Amino acid sequence: MRRRALPVLAATGAWAVCLMGAAPAAVAEDVQSKQWYLDAMQAQDMWKVSTGKGIKVAVVDTGVNPSTPSLRGQVLNGRDLAGVSGGAHDDYDGHGTTMAELIAGTGKGGGLKGLAPDAKIFPVRAALSSLKNKPDEDTIAPAIRAAADSDAQIINMSISGVDTTPQIEKAVEYAASKGKLMFAGTGNDGDGKSRSEYPAAYPEVIGVGSVDSTGTVSKFSTHGNTVSVAAPGSDVPKWCDKTLKSYCDGQGTSAATAIASASAALIWAKHPEWNANQVARVLVGTTDGVMENRNPSKYVGYGAVRPRLNLLEGKGEPGNPKQPAFLGNGDFDTSKAAFEKSAGAPGKGEEADSGKADAGSQDESAKASSGDNSTLWTSLGIAAAVIVLGGGAFAFLRARRG
């Protein structure tokens, strides 16, 4: 059941961040009003129960600048594996700082408000495609190992590449053996070839797809049996560039990955006695209607994440801490055969008990058809069709995909 890595040595430049699209900059004072998913996820209510305190998230990315108003006091020392001048706090692109703010930003100074605002960030800087004068050697593998050796419980990898290396595969396996819960973006080629991308394609990693504010899969979101869950990725603000002077409108599975990681942080902080197996089981067990049939969709996996169901309603069974959440005990089947049972692309989610929609229902005729990779999909005025989120998947699965 275990898919092996592609036998291709990837050039360092092939590893890219999963955030795409840039529209005219939004001033910092307005950026929180653009974080539509916070209301959809009932963040204010969840923060009364959990803010992610006590949880550390390793962000394998372009570095994280700890001096933005929203990240002051939130960022740990970290590690630098990029092989160029600077350090873990020197963000050469702005992408890593965006991911850190989406996870643990305080929102001070009008900056991005993280979904887990009391979590801490452990930055691990690697050489990605946006870095000029990249070293020839692979820096992704040592970056993942550095994250695994830290005391961070969660590893966020908002990066992807079509090719991979045996070293990266071994690093992912090492992180899994250390009990880390790993998330990675599936990529932004959903309206193209939609090929499997790594590290999301590894069975130990939770692949995260993107949905928009109507609960529909984002057209750009790469699909296939690498998708475990989905999270908001359309119309999510980002830092425009490495100068960190202004925010832009953005989209991509990078943002979805950060929000999924933050969702896990909220649940883990509420239940610090749980391990990764149990957090994963509850994350998956509280996703939307796709879970009812236990059949994953190639577009949204088991559905959109909804941490509120555990935090506010006490739903989700952690189960045996030594037992995997997937094929090992039959809770969830993410084999190739399971994906083949699912219908086509999901349409808008079914109405939830809150009167808002959850992403992930499957309807071939309702496949997302508006917008493209350079177009922002704004549907913020559709109050009755926003997403309510809260799920995830498991880091240790040794047999997650066919």
pTM to 2 decimals? Answer: 0.83
- Straight-line distance from the first to the last Cα atom of the chain, in angstroms, rounded to the nearest whole number: 5
Burial 17-26 (b: 16+ CB within 10 A, else e): bbbbbebebb
Residues sharing a CB contact under 8 Å with residue 225, sequence separation 6 or more, in sequence order: 196, 296, 298, 334, 336, 339, 401, 402
- In the chain (402 residues long), the average pLDDT of successive 10-residue segments reads 34 65 53 97 98 98 98 98 94 97 97 98 95 87 98 97 94 95 96 94 92 94 93 97 95 97 98 93 78 76 94 93 69 65 48 31 30 23 31 34 32
Residues sharing a CB contact under 8 Å with residue 108, sequence separation 6 or more, in sequence order: 69, 70, 72
- The answer to whether 194 and 200 have CB atoms below 8 angstroms apart is no
- Rounded Cα distance between 150 and 179, Å, is 11
Helix (H) or strand (E) holding 269: helix 253-270
Question: Vertex 56, ends 55 and 60: CA angle to 5°?
Answer: 150
- The answer to whether 394 and 302 have CB atoms below 8 angstroms apart is no
**What does DSSP say about strands 120-125 and 56-61: parallel, antiparallel, or unpaired?**
parallel
pLDDT, position 334 = 59
pLDDT, position 21 = 59
pLDDT, position 182 = 95
For residue 34, what is the DSSP state? Answer: G
Active site residues: 61, 95, 254
Q: Which domains does the chain have, with CATH numbers?
A: 12-368 (3.40.50.200)
pLDDT, position 337 = 65
Looking at residue 377, its amino acid is W
Query: What's the residue count for the chain?
Result: 402
Nearest to 378 by CA among 210, 240, 213: 213
133 token code pair: 């004068």
pLDDT, position 210 = 97
* Torsion angle defined by CA atoms of residues 147, 152, 154 and 157, in that order, rounded to the nearest 10 degrees: -30
